[in-house]
Amino acid sequence: MSTPVIHKSFTIERTYPVPAARVFRALSDPKKKRRWFAEGDGFIIDSYTLDFQVGGFERTRFRFGDGPAMTNDSVYLDIVENERVVFAYSMTIGGNPMSSSLGTMELVPVREGTLLRFTEATAFVDGNDGSAGRREGSIGLLEALAKELEVHG
Amino acid sequence: MSTPVIHKSFTIERTYPVPAARVFRALSDPKKKRRWFAEGDGFIIDSYTLDFQVGGFERTRFRFGDGPAMTNDSVYLDIVENERVVFAYSMTIGGNPMSSSLGTMELVPVREGTLLRFTEATAFVDGNDGSAGRREGSIGLLEALAKELEVHG
């Protein structure tokens, strides 16, 4: 019998000193997205594909160092150019389901550039409450996106 | 500029006097699922398809009476036979995005039969907080599932 599903959510924000169209491009361009989203330090990418349209999938097969094979499969639910991206994604580790999430990215023009508001609601299905790590990981991804925008424009 | 996304969630439960395998069949069999999920009183179904597997879609095109065309597209994220179904779904009305949600159904064997625990986390993207109506609608769907199990087994 499965362990009970654990439901958690969080919202984080980060402001980038660029127009919303530049942030949106880093979310939608496969080359850029792969660079900041998948290719983190210590991660080995076995495969990465991105079909950025409603109903399209983003599939990442990866490992962290000598760790087990992991998968991250996203599907895009709602896209408004330069404004909003809503997606769902599931993660597995060693072939076992870990979590399924709803992710919402809102791009809000502000005086300093663009505020990205990221909200995630997650169903942790393996009995482990991974919410603290998920929030930390997401903060790290928004930091990686900052570097992408700074270095690659 | 888009209105801010409104994030809401709820959990509802209902116990059915049948084994989990019977409930699971009503979730996974296209003929049964269409009957209790799509064909409610007053709803006109323009099309319905169900591909019940991880990564597969369930697409419903419908109207309520003389109302605007609506769509409900689900994608299955995680399935454990007789135990769990996690999916994401988006709704549009008159061609305009309304919401995207993460839905989790857990089937728990209990003395009286099977407890279905349904949790939904929703991003309402059209500026309207539809959470009260969504919860009521979901209670109605679990009632429709009860009738399906009673009448059609």
- A105-143 pLDDT, tens digit per residue, is 999 999 999 999 999 999 999 999 999 999 999 999 999
Q: Is B1 inside any structural domain? A: no
* pLDDT at residue B137 is higher than 90: yes
Percentage, residues of chain A above pLDDT 90: 95
Question: Which pLDDT band, with edges at 50, 70 and 90, does A6 fall under?
Answer: very high
Chain B environment of A73 (Cβ under 8 Å): 55
Q: Is A96 inside any structural domain? A: yes
Residue A8, beta-bridge partner list: A122
pLDDT at A41: 85
Query: B2 or B26: whose pLDDT is higher?
Result: B26
Q: Is B137 inside any structural domain? A: yes
Q: Is A1 inside any structural domain? A: no
Strands (E), chain B: 6-16, 43-50, 57-64, 70-80, 84-93, 96-110, 113-124
Nearest to A23 by CA among A93, A102, A82, A96: A82
Question: Which pLDDT band, with edges at 50, 70 and 90, does A18 fall under?
Answer: very high
pLDDT at A1: 65
Q: Is A31 inside any structural domain? A: yes
Smallest CA–CA distance from B54 into chain A, residue:
A90
Question: Which pLDDT band, with edges at 50, 70 and 90, does A10 fall under?
Answer: very high
Do residues B8 and A104 make contact, with C-beta atoms less than 8 angstroms apart? no
- Determine whether the interchain pair A100/B102 forms a contact, defined as Cβ–Cβ distance below 8 Å: yes
CB-neighbour burial class of residue A121 (10 A; exposed 0-12, middle 13-18, buried 19+): buried
The length of chain A, given as a count of residues: 153
The mean pLDDT value for B126-142 works out to 96
Q: Is B126 inside any structural domain? A: yes
How many Cβ contacts (< 8 angstroms) between chains A and B?
A: 101
pLDDT at B1: 65
pLDDT at A20: 98
Rg from Cα positions in chain A: 15
Q: Which two structure tokens, joined as six digits, stand for A15?
A: 């402001």
Question: Which pLDDT band, with edges at 50, 70 and 90, does A2 fall under?
Answer: confident
Q: Residues B86-102: pLDDT tens digits?
A: 999 999 999 999 999 99
pLDDT at A116: 98
How far apart, in Å, do the first and last CA atoms of chain A sit? 49
DSSP code at position B29:
-
DSSP code at position B52:
-
Percentage, residues of chain B above pLDDT 90: 95
Those residues of chain B whose CB sits closer than 8 Å to some CB in chain A are 1-2, 4-5, 7, 9, 11, 54-55, 57, 73, 75, 77-78, 80, 83-84, 86, 88-90, 97, 100-102, 104, 106, 109, 119, 121, 123, 125
Q: Which residues constitute the domain of residue B145?
A: 6-152
Q: Is A101 inside any structural domain? A: yes
Report the number of distinct structural domains present in chain A.
1
CA distance B3 to A19: 18
Q: Is A130 inside any structural domain? A: yes
CA distance A135 to A35: 20
Query: Which amino acid type is present at position B152?
Result: H
CATH number of the domain within which A55 lies: 3.30.530.20
The mean pLDDT value for B33-39 works out to 96
CA distance B73 to B45: 14
pTM of the model: 0.96
Buried b (16+ CB within 10 A) or exposed e, B71-88: bbbbbbbbbeebbbbbbb
Do residues A87 and A67 make contact, with C-beta atoms less than 8 angstroms apart? no
Those residues of chain A whose CB sits closer than 8 Å to some CB in chain B are 1-2, 4-5, 7, 9, 11, 54-55, 57, 73, 75, 77-78, 80, 83-84, 86, 88-90, 97, 100-102, 104, 106, 109, 119, 121, 123, 125
Alpha helices in A5-86 (DSSP H): 20-28, 30-33
Q: Residues A38-70: pLDDT tens digits?
A: 998 899 999 999 999 999 999 999 999 999 999
